[in-house]
Amino acid sequence: MARCLELAERYRGRTSPNPIVGCVIVDRAGKVIAEGAHAGPGTPHAEIAALAKLKHKAKGATLYVNLEPCTHQGRTPPCAPVVRDSGVARVVIGMEDPVPGHGGGTAVLKRAKVAVTSGVLREDCERANLPFVTWAREGRPAFTLKAAITLDGKIATVAGESQWITGEAARADVMRLRTTHDAVMVGIGTVLADDPQLTARVKGARDPIRIVLDGELRTPPMAKLLDPSTSRTSPSAALAKLPRVIIVTGTHAPTDREAALIARGADVWCVPDDDKGQLDVTALARMLGESGITSVLVEGGGEVHASLLDHQLADQLVLYVAPRIVGGPAKSWVGGAGLPVLASAHAFVFDDAVVRLGDDLRFTALARPVPEGT
């Protein structure tokens, strides 16, 4: 199953709104005889790709796959009947299909007397497909909050200097991280302060869709992220219909500024205000999910991070920590009003892997599930 996940990872960032899936087939002696992975919408699913390499040699074999074979007709035919008819004796599944109405692959196989084992490395499989699972179950993308910070959690000095807190290795890793997400999102403060391109700048990689939260449409029409020369192919074929830049604004934004942004190739989306008078990120999350976007890398600033945390939309954290201390009232990576009691703090669980990148460290954490009834 671990090998299935390795194969699936090769296509992270290119399969949306589909999951990343890998498949390994072994013979009766336990020897690997075929492998496959899903390369994106409209391409064969991992099981089909692996079985195609065997032709009629699958009889009696064991097929491993990190996601339950599907039973629905989409861009491609369902997998479960093909697996059932292939002659494999056993199928080992990492996790069940989370899409309502799309499961049933296990039942199809069992009715044909194919032995099925489910739940192998389930947590790893669900973690690998966090974007797909979140999109399938909640109808929204998974949000990853990313920040480059000092040891005391600052994203800039008291004078506003922020380039660069982390070193080259950490910044290169951010570029890689962008290639694995459908979209990257920032607030208008980040655009005005840094004028970022928000592209991946990785050779041969596709750029994420760029999203700006801008309640008053203050994005300069000549901002770098609106430069047509910075726009490359979409994260996946299924997202090609979406604009390369989305400016998200409120219902009270000046309409006279909209035309200039549209002329520069941006789409302007309008969302209502939440109960704090800020852009309703929950409504935005639904809109993004309906568009097929399953993963968003949120690069700040602090108020954007705080809003997503307050609305229970922060699914994962990626923090790049530099061995420096700024101190004082410099900006922190999470803004907002703060919480009065420790019991109400946003809780996360650290990933086991802490990665050293030059002088810096990268920490990853997943949101701790909220107990039912709370």
Q: Which residue has the tokens 């990190």?
A: 66
As a whole number of angstroms, the distance between CA 265 and CA 81 comes to: 44
pLDDT tens-digit readout, 60-111? 999 999 999 998 887 888 899 999 999 999 999 999 999 877 778 999 999 9
- Write down the pLDDT at residue 217: 95
Mean of the pLDDT values across residues 197-215? 87
- Write down the pLDDT at residue 231: 64
Per domain, the residue ranges of the chain are 2-130, 140-367
Q: Which residues of 260-269 are buried (b: 16+ CB within 10 A; e: fewer)?
A: ebeebebebb
- Write down the pLDDT at residue 288: 97
Range with lowest mean pLDDT among 37-41, 53-57, 95-99, 254-258: 53-57
Instruction: Identify the CATH assignment for 2-130 out of 3.40.50.300, 3.30.1120.10, 3.30.43.10, 3.40.140.10.
Output: 3.40.140.10
CA-nearest of 272, 269, 325, 276 to 303 is 276
Sign of CA dihedral 239, 243, 248, 253: negative
**Class in CATH terms, 140-367:** alpha beta
Q: Which residues of 94-108 are buried (b: 16+ CB within 10 A; e: fewer)?
A: bbbbbbeebbbbbeb
- Write down the pLDDT at residue 374: 45
Peptide bond into 301 cis (omega under 30): yes
CA distances from 35 to 24, 115, 120, 372 (A): 5, 20, 18, 40
pLDDT tens-digit readout, 159-194? 888 889 999 999 999 999 999 999 999 999 999 988
CA-nearest of 21, 20, 40, 8 to 235 is 40
Q: Is it the case that residue 349 has pLDDT exceeding 80? A: yes
Q: Record the tokens describing residue 175, joined without a space.
A: 């570029």
Residue 285 region by backbone torsions, left for phi larger than 0, else alpha for psi between -120 and 50, else beta: alpha
Please tell me if the domain spanning 2-130 has the same topology as the one spanning 140-367.
no
Residues carrying an active site annotation: 47
Sheet holding 90-95, edge to edge: 32-37, 22-26, 62-67, 90-95, 115-118
Peptide bond into 135 cis (omega under 30): no
Read off the pTM.
0.91
pLDDT tens-digit readout, 227-244? 887 766 666 667 878 889
124 by DSSP, 3-state: which?
A: helix
CA distances from 227 to 9, 198, 210, 231 (A): 31, 11, 12, 7
CA distances from 8 to 35, 81, 169, 374 (A): 11, 22, 25, 35
Q: Which H or E run includes 184?
A: strand 183-187
